Structure 1
Amino acid sequence: MEKRKLSFWQIWNMSFGFLGIQFGFALQGGFMSRIFQTLGAGKEDIPLLWIAAPLTGLLVQPIIGYMSDRTWSVKWGRRRPYFLIGAILSSIALFLVPNSPALWVAAGFLWILDASINISMEPFRALVADKLPESQRSYGFVVQTLIIGIGTWIASNLPWMVSQLGVSNVAESGVVPMSVKVAFAIGAFVFLASILYTVFTTDEYPPENMEEFEREKVKKNNFIPDILNNIGSMPLTMKKLGIIQFFSWFAFFTMWSLANPALTEHVYRSPAPIETDYNMQDLAQKDAFVVANTKFQESSNLVGSSMGIYGLSSMAFALLLTLYTSKRNINRKYVHMFSLIAGGAGFLLMNTASPESLKYCFVLIGISWGSILSMPYAMLSSSVDPKKMGVIMGIFNMFIVIPQIMAALGGINYVSSLIGEEAINAMTVAGVSLIIAGLCNLLITNKKAIRYQEEI
């Protein structure tokens, strides 16, 4: 099927739902560890509590990709039903997470939240490849990244913003502050509203041959053998991209799970107080705990705001790429390589950062984030069968979630402990991992993946 080129606003409409998805991911990534610490988790326990996120991605994304490849509704299309289902579930989970009465409840809600976000997210990746001709793939994924950057920056600053409006940032021991609860409620609304916008402003191409589509849908109804077959036959370029993804996502999972304890302790000198270290029956000791906890909550807001900078810089980076790729082709390989190395440098510089200079570290990290959300998918979509785009994108997610599972099961704690006991060592590990990911781009040799050319 000959796909027509779309205008900027048509691509914007089809990608706008990612604003809500990124609200969900940014609130989860920026503040879930804070919620865990508030509910009593030690910093060494946090990576394992985060295991819900990659495990649900590993299970959900290939299934949703497989199902969406075999879905067609004249009214709702192929990918949009999954956007909507995931949005409804995610919005409910976002509202409930900060109201968790205990640590195990919060961990359980994280499972539900991440699974729901993944239901919406995977079809969005496939939609870009479904809708756009190959010459616009880089452009499409970069516009998507621009919207993700906007969502990351706003959502990461929400607790700080609402506290500036007078919402309390102080709470009793074991209770999440109202500023965080209000921020998550806003995120729930934005998630659903932005997905609805895309659902009602975007249509989809029907299968090229409806009779063949129906036959294939009936014939290929065995999920596990089909997934295993697609894994076994994945293109060489996809495997090489998988290596890059492995080190990239090990780094970012380390940031999401441990940046708050690392930076509140190392940069802001306000680590989370441990209640058992205080005699809560003694009024002076109880007051000291409240003061320490308030400082931790305030510094956590500042860490979240600093993390939001990586969304802002990824947005600026994506905007530059959008302007460039709207008229020209780019060398995806070298753009991605240098972007990842820049992010690695940002993590390493956190060792010497002050509260004032921390934002510059996240500017560099944002450049790598902007590239991670666009370049691998643009390279992959030029290397695979378009009829299998949904399931391939779901399988490609394995290279995202496996390193996160390894990190959660002790990989971060083990590797960072080789350097020392300080929490900031986790950010050093993230930096080295991201630089390795950048250098692995030298493995990519497929010319079509590196740079789309009309004559290919």
Structure 2
Amino acid sequence: MDIVTKPLLKSNRKPSYQSIIIGSPNELVNVKKDLSTWEMILLTICMAGLQFTWTVELSYGTPYLRNLGMRSELISLVWLAGPLSGLIMQPLIGAISDKCTFKLGRRRPFMIIGGLLVCLSMAGIAYSMEWAAILLGKKPSLIEFGNDDEVRKMAITVAVISFYCLDFSLNAVQASCRSLILDIPPLHQQETGNAWAGRMMHIGNVIGYFTGFLDLKAIFSFLGDSQVKILCIISCIVFILALLVTCLSVKEVIYETSAIEDSRPWYHTFIYIYRAFKYLPVPIQKICNVQFFSWMGWFPFLFFSTSWITSVYARTHSTQEKDFFEVSTRYGSFALLIYSFVSVAAGIIIPHLTPKSDSSKNPFTIYNIYTASHIMFALVMLSTFFVDTVEQSIVLISSIGIPWAVAMWVPFTLVGEFVQQNESKLNNKNNNNNALAESSSSSEISSSASSSAVAVDNNNNNNKAGVEGGDENEFDAGMILGVHNMYIVFPQFIISIISALIIKLVEEFTQTGGGIGNIGKNDAYGWVFRFGGLMSLVAAMLSRSIIDLKIYRKD
């Protein structure tokens, strides 16, 4: 067999090379073809559908539960569903799918199953009242929701369970989509792939918040009798279509297990997760440390921005006004719509500001941009002290689109670069071992056939031992992304509890008791925002310790 050396990295990066044995079954795995722009769009469009569905939950979740009669501090605890599902599903799905041998590939089966569960969960949220009436043995058409306390309490239960199911399903799909985006492109296109994923998420935000801002009852009355019902149906349609496009356009290489992997016990996945935490490479650990504090800032914004705008709106409007909550929630959707437009623009422009080479004196390195985004987010959150009108709140929320664009691009690019470089080193080592075995075998045949067999067998045993023993730096993409995501969800547990305490303390201090009629008399959500801003400042300081990978843009 001929041995050909092929470059893994292009342009201004220091070249790294990988030896490929032509005709080897590993060739398809080791050499990944460059993706065109169109192929990048098809690969990452699943993130747009995923984000569209997240926007429905983020913008309407809290107001919807409040409208059902749930107390504010309890709603904060409901949103533990997000971090809990991320904590369990992302590393678990990542680890299982890494070794999945389905004919559809490693990631797509989980995307399809998770997608179906997402749609069922959305139906539970949209029709929580109807499900509640059925469970209580009553006819939904005869129920006056506001006057039936029993049905209202059951509807809250159904909605909360559905939100939990939705979060678990979405996290399963998100883990699979992120891993797929890491699997398909070659190393030098990792930055491009993650940039496209970020753009698709921004587009999903724009479409989602724009749809939520529209008066859907007037436009799509045939889909339902409320804004939430229609929005849930539309989100299911968009989500499924986006997922189908990616699943049908991407071709995965079927994973083949080794004899060692086939003999591993069922609990090996959990040992794998534990070892990934224990031996997390230092560059990834530093990124995870930043993400921990960064997401203690992002969580309050993502879940309470609409409610904060509602409280600001209530300072100048009576809560007794007709359709108060619907109007105020649409103001929140409008603010998030502008924010999503800003994030799309920032997601397109900012990557093009990065330097082309190491010799460039351009200060807009990916390293500096990451730090600056945390500082900007912190300043905006702390500026809520000075907001008095809904117009000012809209401007503030809109400006957060810039740091959000960076948050959806930089950390995943850094993680992706490291994972791909690590996999390249592993492939190099394995190919070099195979080449040495071939060479050793050829030379020994001339003197002794048995010596050749021993040499090859020893080499293979060493190779297997390395895999089984587990080089602490050798983990698959899905597992690394799973651990990285756990550092995103851990702080959400903490901030959920802190948010509930802050809201409770502020409401008691202002003697409102959380009543709907007094919503404009306290600034509980503003105080939660400010706490998040302080956490973002901690993230900014930690970001300076990240190993500065030399990542350059390509024209």
Classify the TM-score, shorter chain.
Answer: 0.7 to 0.9
Aligned to 1:78, the other structure's residue is in SS state coil
Structure 1: distance between partners of 2:409 and 2:111: 19
Alignment of 1:59-208 (within 5 A): 59-74=88-103, 76-101=104-129, 102-163=155-216, 165=218, 178-207=226-255
Any unmatched runs of 5+ in structure 1?
169-175, 274-287
Match of 2:261 in 1: 216
Aligned to 1:16, the other structure's residue is in SS state helix
Preserved CA contact (<8 Å) 1:143 1:322: no
Preserved CA contact (<8 Å) 2:72 2:503: no
Structure 2: distance between partners of 1:31 and 1:326: 40
Alignment of 1:48-447 (within 5 A): 48-74=77-103, 76-101=104-129, 102-163=155-216, 165=218, 178-207=226-255, 210=256, 212=258, 215-219=260-264, 221=266, 222-269=268-315, 288=320, 291=321, 294-321=323-350, 323=352, 331-353=365-387, 354-384=389-419, 385-386=422-423, 388-411=476-499, 413-414=501-502, 422-423=523-524, 424-444=526-546, 446-447=547-548
Displacement of 1:233: 0.3
Structure 1: distance between partners of 2:539 and 2:553: 26
Preserved CA contact (<8 Å) 1:162 1:183: no
Displacement of 1:383: 2.5
Preserved CA contact (<8 Å) 1:82 1:119: yes
**CA 1:271/1:111 → structure 2, altered by over 3 Å: closer, same or farther?**
farther
**CA 1:416/1:439 → structure 2, altered by over 3 Å: closer, same or farther?**
farther
Stretches (4+) displaced over 6 A: 325-330
Preserved CA contact (<8 Å) 2:74 2:500: no
Any unmatched runs of 5+ in structure 2?
1-29, 130-154, 359-363, 424-474, 510-521
Structure 2: distance between partners of 1:390 and 1:365: 29
> Which structure: larger Rg?
2
TM-score by length of 2: 0.70
Structure 1: distance between partners of 2:198 and 2:234: 21
Out of 141-150 and 89-98, give the one that drifted further. 89-98
Structure 2: distance between partners of 1:143 and 1:79: 19
Preserved CA contact (<8 Å) 2:198 2:408: yes
Out of 224-233 and 413-422, give the one that drifted further. 413-422
User: How many aligned residue pairs are there?
Assistant: 424
Displacement of 1:412: 5.6
For residues 190-216 of structure 1, give each alpha carbon's deviation from its aligned partner in whole angstroms, at most 9, with x where no partner exists: 111110010001112445xx464x643
One-letter code of the match for 1:219? R
Preserved CA contact (<8 Å) 1:15 1:143: yes
Structure 1: distance between partners of 2:225 and 2:496: 26
Displacement of 1:13: 0.6
Structure 2: distance between partners of 1:324 and 1:5: 23
Displacement of 1:381: 2.2
Match of 1:8 in 2: 37
Displacement of 1:311: 2.1
TM-score by length of 1: 0.85
**CA 1:51/1:211 → structure 2, altered by over 3 Å: closer, same or farther?**
closer
